[in-house]
Structure 1
Amino acid sequence: MRQFLAFIFLLFTSMAFYAQDDENPVSWSHELNKISDTEFDLIIKGDIFKGWHVYSQHTAEGGSLPSEFTYEKAGIDYELVGETKESPTETAFSDIFEVDETFFKKQAIFTQRVKLLNPDVRQIDVNLFYQVCKEVCLAVDKDFNFVLDGGEAVTVEKHVDERSLAMGEALKLDLKNKDILKGGNDQDEGQSSLWVVFGLGFLGGLIALLTPCVFPMIPLTVSFFTKQSQNKSKGIVNAVLYGFFIVLIYFLLSLPFHIFDSVDSQILNTIATNIWLNLAFFIIFVFFAFSFFGYYELTLPSSWANKMDAASNKVGGGIGIFFMAVTLAIVSFSCTGPILGGLLGSTTLAEGEVANNLTAGMTGFGVALALPFALFAMFPAWLNSLPKSGGWMTTVKVVLGFLELALAFKFLSNADLVGNWGIFKREIFLGVWILLFVLLTLYLFGVIRFKHDGPKQKLSLGRKMTGFLSIAVTVYLILGVTKISNLKLLSGFPPPDFYSVFQQESDCPMGIDCYKDFETGLAHAKSVNKPILLDFTGWACVNCRKMEENVWSDPEVYPLLKDEYVLISLYIDDRKELPLEEQFDFKYDSGRVKTIQTIGQKWGTFQTVNFNSASQPYYVLISSDLELLNSAIQSAPSDEYRDWLLKGLENYKKIGSE
C-alpha cells in the first residue's frame, strides 16, 4: 500500500540522450532474419533496466504513450506483411489515468515482416517512438537501419534548408548563469524505501506480540529454555537461536516471490488491475476483520502444529529448536495471519520491486517477533515487568479488525476504479472510513462492545489515548472531505481528487493560469515582470500528477505558483501535429537531423538541447531575460520544493536590484 506505508518520492538524476547518446534506461539492438530473397523479418530488441517500463503499441488510450513505428518508404520500396508483433507483455491498472496499461518489463521484442517491392533496395530505415517510465517518464525517438546485403548501414546526411536552420536556432536559448543548472535533487532513495518497509514490518511484528496468540508464549518459552538448559549461557544461546529461526521462517516465506518471477509479475501486480481479484481481496480482508472481532477463529490445521511439536521433541538440538519456531508460527497464525495479510496487501499495492519490499517487510516482522525471546532470555528479571494477559489484548485485536476493514475498502475502491463503475468515488470512500473510525472510537470508549469482550471495566489510560487518536483521525478525514485539508498523510491512498462526486475539469494544473507555449509565456512574464517556472511535463506522466496533486497543492507552495511565478507547462508527449508552417528539421551539433512534426517533439527537443535532460517532471526557474535562478529539480517533498521556489524569487529580486 504505497500510500498507507507513506512512501517518500524516489528521486532520480536527469538522463539526457538524443544527440548526446548518454545512458538510456533501454539498451536497443536490431537484427535481420532472411526468410526468402524478397521477404525479411526486422527484429528490434530492447533490454529494459530494472524497474522501468516500456509501453506496448496496444496500451489503452488515455494512459502512458504507446510505442509507435515509422517505416521509411513503406509501400514504395517494400510492403509490410501483417502487423508488428510483440513479445509477451504485462498489464496493470493506473490509478492516475484510470486505464489498464500494457507494458514490457525486462525486455521488449518487436518483429515486422517485410516484402520487397524494389529489388534494388539495400537498406530499410525504421523509427521507433516510445515512452519509458519509472518514477520519471522519458519520451524517446530511436532510429534503426537494417542492411539487406550484409554490408554496413549507410547514413545519408539529410539536407536542412535555411528555414529549418533558422527555426532550429530559435529553439536554442541563450541561457545565462547556466552553471547552476546542475545540482538538483538527484538522490536515489530506493534503499531508503526498503528500510521504511522493514520498519513498518517491524511495527507489525510488535503489534502481533501484543495479541493473545503470541504474548503469553513469551514467558513460557523463555522459561523453558532457561530451565531446560544445563547452564544460563546455554539457555541464552538456545533462545537466541530460537529467535533467529523465527526471523528465518518469515524471511523464507518471501523467497517464492523472488524464485518464481511469474508470481511477482503475473499475480501480485495483477491484484491492482483485476476486478475479481480486488473483490476477492476485499472479501478476504473483511473475513480477517471479523475474526479479530471474535466471531470465529482462524487456525491452520492442528495436525500441522502437532507434527512440528513432535519433531522438535524427537530431534533435539538446533534442528529441534527450528521445529519449535515453526510450531510458534503455526499456532499463532490466528493473530499473525491477518497482520501478514495486511503486509502482503500493502506490499502488493506499493510501487517498486514487490518481492524486495515483501522480503524487507517480512524480515522486519520476524525480527520484531523474535526479539523479546532473545532479550528476555538474556535478562530474565525483565519478565517480572511484563503486563499480565487480559482484556487489553482483546482490545488490540478489535483495533486491528477495524484497520483490516479500512484496508479491505482500498481493494473495493480498486475494483471500482478498474471497472469504471463510478460508484465508490473519493467522497464515498472517505465517508466509509469516517464511519469505521467513528465506530472504532465508540468501541474504545465502551459505547459498543463485541461478543468476546469481558465484563465492563474502567477504561485504561492506553485505551483512552487510542480513543482520542481515533477521534483525531476521524476529524482529519472529515476535513479532507470538506476540502479544508488535502489529506497529505494519506496521499494517493483514497481515490484521486479527480475521481470525485464534484469533479471539475481544468486545462492547467491546480487551476493555475498557465501557458503551453514558451514564447507566449515568456512575453507575458516580461509584461508582468515575474520570474518563470518552466514545467516540462506530460499528459501520460504519472509522477507529474503526483507532484501537482501532493506538492503543488501544499498551502505554502500553491500561492507561490499562483501569484509569484508565470507557469509555462510544456507537454513532451503531446502527439498533436504542429501546423505545416511550424514543422521543420532540427539539426543537432553532431549532424543528426530530427524532423519536428508534433508539439511534443518540439518541446522534447527544446528541453534536451537547452537543459541536457529528457525526463519529466523537470522544473526550471528562469527570468524573462533567460537567466537561471536556481538549479533544476524533479520530484521533491513540499518543504524542499517551497524552499527551491523561494530561493528562485530571492535570486530574481537580486537580479532586479543590480
Structure 2
Amino acid sequence: MRRVFGELIVIGLLIGAFLPAFGQLGGATHIAFQATLVPPDARAGEGAQIVLTAKIDPGYHLYSLTQPEGGPVRTTITVPAGGPFAFVGKAVQPPFRSVFDPGFQITDQEYEGAVAFGIPVKLRSGIAGAQKALIEVHYQLCTDRNCLIPTTVSVPLSFRVAPGPPRPDHLQPITSVPPQPAGAATGSPPSTTMEQTAASPPISDSTRRSIALAEHRGLLSFLLLSMGAGFLALLTPCVFPMVPITVSFFSKRRQQKTWEGIRDALAYCFGIIATFTFLGVAAAVLFKATGIRAIANNPFVNLALAVLFIALGINLMGGFEIALPAGLANRFAAGAQKAGVLGPFFMGLTFTLTTFTCTVAFVGTLLAAAAEGDLFYPIVGMLGFSVAFALPFFLLALFPQYVARLPHSGSWLTTVKAYLGFVELAAAVKFLSNADLVWSLGWLTRPVFLAIWAAIALIAGCYLMGWLLLPHDTTATVGKVRRGFGLLTLVACVYLYAGINHAPLGTLAAFLPPDPYPGQAEMERGGLNWLHSYTEALALAKQENRPVFVNFTGVNCTNCRDMEQNVFPRPEVAAELRKFVLVELYTDRDREEDRQNARLLQKLAGVATLPTYVVVGPDGRVRAVLQDRRPPQVFLRFLEANER
C-alpha cells in the first residue's frame, strides 16, 4: 500500500510539472490567427493570396519568416498538399524590427501588436462552390521576461470560388505584402520626430532576454545565471585595483586566533553581499533602477572614498598608526570581539560602491525588475551575483592571515604593505577624478591624471630600489625580487608618461577621464566626429539618409571608457562607425542636460545602464540596442547588422 501511495505521488508530481506544456498544445495562447483569401471573387485556375493575420497580445513578440537560426524559433507557414489550391513561390512579410542579441550573436527579427503575412497560391482547375482548408503555422512567442515553447496550430480557411472561367489578368498569384492590420508594429516607421521616437515601445535588450529565459526555466537556472554573471563581473576593470587593496587592508589587521581571520573575511564578504542585495533592491524600489548608480557617482561619496584611501595609504606607508586612545581601548576591550567585524564589513560596503559602475549592467536589469514590482527574482539574483562576486575576495581576505604566519616574514611584509599604500594613493586619484568629472571642474584631465599616476609610480619604484626610505624602513639590503619589482614599477612610470602623449594604454585607459575632457573640446576621437544633441543628429540623419548611432555614456563609467578608448578606434570598427551619424550623450552628471539624456535612454532602450548603444533609423525608429562592454568582434557585427 505504501509503495502504491508513493507511486501515486510521483505520478501527480509529473502531471503537475508537465501540465503547463499540455495546456499549450491545445492551441494558440497570447496570439490569434485568422486566414482569408484575396481577392474574394477568385475563380478556379486563377492566382490569389492567402492573408494570414496574427494579433499578438501586448508585451509579446512574434518572429519573422526569415529569423536567423540559433535564437528564438522563426515563424513557418505550411499549406498542406491536396487542397483546393497550390502553394506558389514564397510567403511574403512586412518589414520587421531588428533587435541585436549578443547572447546568441544574432539579430532577432520581431513583430509586435499585429502582423499580416501573404502566401501566394493558385486555385486548382475544376473546383467550385464553398471550399475549406487548413493552414499550419509553427511559431514561438517571447516577452521581455520569458519565452513560450514553440507551438504548431492549424488555422481554418473558408472561401467560395466565384463562377466563370479564369480571367487573363488574374492568372498570376499575388506576391505583394498585404496591407497591415491596425496595431501592427513592424519595421516600417511612420514617425520622424524625437518626441514620436521616444514614445515608441522600448526595445528589449539581450541581457533582459537571457534573464527572462533563465527565470522561465526555473529558480535553479536563474540562480546559476546570476552566479555566472557574478564571476564574469570579476573580469571588469573596476575590480582589478581592489585585489591589492583587499590584501593590504587585511594584512595590517592582527588576529590572535585563526578563527578571527575567518570571521573578518566572512564579515568582509557579508558587507559585499548585504550591500549588493539589501541596499540595491531598496534603492531600486525607492529610486528606480538608477538609484545605486547615482550613489556611486555622487561627488561627496567619491571625495569621502578618496580621503579614506589616502588615509589607508599613508597608514600602510608608516606615516601614522590608526588606533583608539588608550582610555577608549581599555574601556571597549571586553567588546572588541564583537566590534572587530565592523571594519571588514564597512570595507566590503566600500568595495561594492567602488565597483558598481562596472557591475551595474547586470545588477541594473535586476533592479529595474524590482522597481516594476517583482521582488523575489531580483533578490535571488542579487544574492547569487554577490555571493559569486565575493567568493574570491573571501580567499584574498584569508590570504594575509597565512602570510603573516610564514616564518621569517620580517621586513619584506613591511615593504609589501608600503608598496600597496602607493596603490591605494593611486586609487584615491580615481575617486577624486570621479568627483571632478561630475562637477565639470576640469582639474583632473587625462594628462594631469596620468602625470599624478606616473609620479606615484616613480616614487614607488625609487622606494623599491632602495633609493627612498619611509619612516618604518631600516637599512636592510634590497633583494633581487624587490629590485625586480622596482624596475617593473619604473617601467610603468615611463608607460604612464607615454600615455600623456596619447600612446595606447589598453585596458588601463578605462580608468582615465574621457579624452577630450567633456565640454572642453570638440568631440572628435580617432577621426570620428561626435555630435552632442540627439535632435541635431536625427535631423542630419534624415538629410543624409544615414542611421544614427547613439552612445549613451557616463563620465564615471569605466566600461564606457574601455569601449571608447580600445574598441571604437580600431580601424575596422571606426570604418563602420563612419557610416552612421554619431552622437554621444552623457547621463550621469547632476545637470539638466544629463537628466534629459537619461530619460531619452529609458524611452529609446527601456534600460538605465551604461554603456548602452542605440541605432536609430533616419526615419526616427529604433532599430537595435546593445548594452555593456563587448568584444570588438561582437560590437563590429552589431554595427554591420544595422548600418542600412
Q: TM-score range by the shorter chain?
A: 0.3 to 0.5
Larger CA Rg, structure 1 vs 2: 2
Query: Which is bigger in relative contact order (C-alpha 8 A, separation at least 6)?
Result: 1
TM-score, length basis structure 2 = 0.45
